[in-house]
Amino acid sequence: MAHIVFEQVTKQYDNGFVAVKDLNLDIGEDEFLVLVGPSGCGKTTSLRMLAGLESISQGSIYINGKRVNEMSPRERDIAMVFQSYALYPHMSVFDNMAFSLNLQGTPKEEIQQRVQAAAAQLGIEELLDRKPKQLSGGQRQRVAVGRAIVRNPAAFLMDEPLSNLDAKLRVQARAELSRLHKKLGTTFIYVTHDQVEAMTMGSRIAVMNKGILQQVDTPQNLYEHPNNVFVAGFMGSPAMNFFDATLKPEGEDVFVMAGALRVPVPREERSRYEPHIGQPLIFGIRPEKIYNPEFSPPGINPYEIDATISVIEMMGHEIIVYLSLADGQEFLARVDPRSRYTPGEVVRLSLDCDRFHLFDKDSGHVLA
């Protein structure tokens, strides 16, 4: 197991481009940490710096208290699984998995034991004599993971290892990797641009954008308490709805004014928002917090609106509805599949007033 620390780590290339800026991250032993963000956000560069495949411009990386900036990749006691799997096509599955152990001069009997044990963990014992071209995408992914397992590393680094699989296999592989992490009890650091993978696999998630760490937290806290507009919009599918807004006091009440929306602020939250009255804000609410009133769950604090349906996507377990307000603002709702809607229809919906978010428009930060 490895305790890994990024301390003010920056990566700047010769052309001046800063891929990662002042990254501070503490990854505990036995943790499954997911680095997530859009393409070009710096997540893979961070992983490669940890692996020793990219130099560090500034700052330090520590593994179990030891500074590793100048260490070679093989000295860091980590194993990496790449997006391409990088299997040797002329070698059997057994030889691919045993390759690094052979380079280390490991005795043949021990190699046999380690490869057999890893193959048994991954359910690929019957594939050991095959060549990579004889394997499916899911089988190749397991072999790549098995090649890492046989090394008994302190940490596993995985760079989008499921991106080449079809949708069904990705779901299966996510569950397999989660079970493998629990079985091995080793530090996993996993890079993906897919927020569904991040939410379902990570014990904690680090969200990055433009080389800067935005927020680190558990999946549930990231979803329910995003620090800023970027995290709120990136985590969750479909993405959170956003509206330009201001706060307006009326007597003892405060309302969020967002075009055709006039959403009451719960009285217990009023003191939190009063200092921001009159400022330009962003009102955010997730599609799943907008309900068909006929099937609203008990206990919500409803605010009802009328909207016109433009598109309906039937997903089986839910319906994604594209709507517009009287002032033309567009938004999405995830509603109960029993809803009987048709495009062009004007429908009444309920917003849960206890589950919206307000952000400062200039900084993008959530209101404290």
217 and 300 in a single domain? The answer is no
Can you say how many angstroms the Cα of residue 262 is from the centroid of all Cα atoms in its chain? 33
214 and 266 in a single domain? The answer is no
Question: pLDDT at position 346, please?
Answer: 97
Residue 66: CB atoms within 10 A of its CB come to 11
Nearest-10 Cα torsion for 91, 101, 143, 155: -150
Which of 179, 209, 234 is at the close of a domain?
234
Which residues form the domain of 105?
A: 4-234
Question: pLDDT at position 83, please?
Answer: 79
Residue 95 within any structural domain of the chain: yes
Residue 366 within any structural domain of the chain: no
Residue 120 within any structural domain of the chain: yes
Closest-CA residue to 139 (of 125, 160, 153) = 125
153 and 117 in a single domain? The answer is yes
Q: Extract the tokens encoding 108.
A: 């043949």
Instruction: Quote the longest CA-to-CA distance of the chain.
Output: 81
Q: Extract the tokens encoding 154.
A: 């302190």
Residue 285 within any structural domain of the chain: yes
Residue 368 within any structural domain of the chain: no
163 and 311 in a single domain? The answer is no
CATH number, domain of 328, equals 2.40.50.140
Distances, alpha carbon 54 to alpha carbons 34, 43, 124, 281, in Å: 19, 12, 33, 40
214 and 160 in a single domain? The answer is yes
Domain tally, the chain? 2
Question: pLDDT at position 163, please?
Answer: 82
Closest-CA residue to 364 (of 263, 256, 226) = 226
CATH number, domain of 211, equals 3.40.50.300
177 and 288 in a single domain? The answer is no
Question: pLDDT at position 355, please?
Answer: 93
129 and 205 in a single domain? The answer is yes
DSSP state of 270: H
Tell me the torsion sign for CA atoms 51, 20, 366, 331: negative
Which of 187, 208, 234 is at the close of a domain?
234
Q: Extract the tokens encoding 190.
A: 């996993």
Residue 256 within any structural domain of the chain: yes
Instruction: Show pLDDT as tens, one digit a residue, over the chain (368 residues).
Output: 799 999 999 999 999 999 999 999 999 998 999 999 999 999 999 999 999 999 999 999 999 999 999 999 989 999 988 877 789 999 999 999 999 899 888 999 999 999 998 898 888 999 999 999 999 888 888 898 899 889 888 999 999 988 877 888 888 888 888 988 998 889 999 999 998 899 999 999 999 999 999 999 999 999 999 999 999 999 998 999 999 999 999 988 999 999 999 999 998 888 889 999 999 999 999 999 999 999 999 989 999 999 999 999 999 999 999 999 999 999 999 999 999 999 999 999 999 999 999 999 999 999 97
Residue 164: CB atoms within 10 A of its CB come to 15
229 and 314 in a single domain? The answer is no
Residue 365 within any structural domain of the chain: no
CB 330, CB 322: distance < 8 Å? yes
CA-based end-to-end distance of the chain = 37
Distances, alpha carbon 180 to alpha carbons 115, 147, 206, in Å: 16, 14, 21
Question: pLDDT at position 151, please?
Answer: 86
210 and 344 in a single domain? The answer is no
- Kindly provide the b/e burial profile for residues 222-249, where b requires at least 16 CB atoms within 10 angstroms of the residue's own CB: bbeebbbbbbbbbbbeeebbbbebbbee
Which of 205, 234, 263 is at the close of a domain?
234
Cα–Cα distance between 304 and 351 in angstroms, integer? 6
Residue 109 within any structural domain of the chain: yes
Residue 181: CB atoms within 10 A of its CB come to 19
202 and 247 in a single domain? The answer is no
Question: pLDDT at position 121, please?
Answer: 84
Cα–Cα distance between 101 and 187 in angstroms, integer? 21
210-36-150 Cα angle (round to 5): 130
152 and 251 in a single domain? The answer is no
Location of structure tokens 């290892």: 161
> Considering the entire predicted model, what is its pTM?
0.90
Question: pLDDT at position 248, please?
Answer: 95
141 and 113 in a single domain? The answer is yes
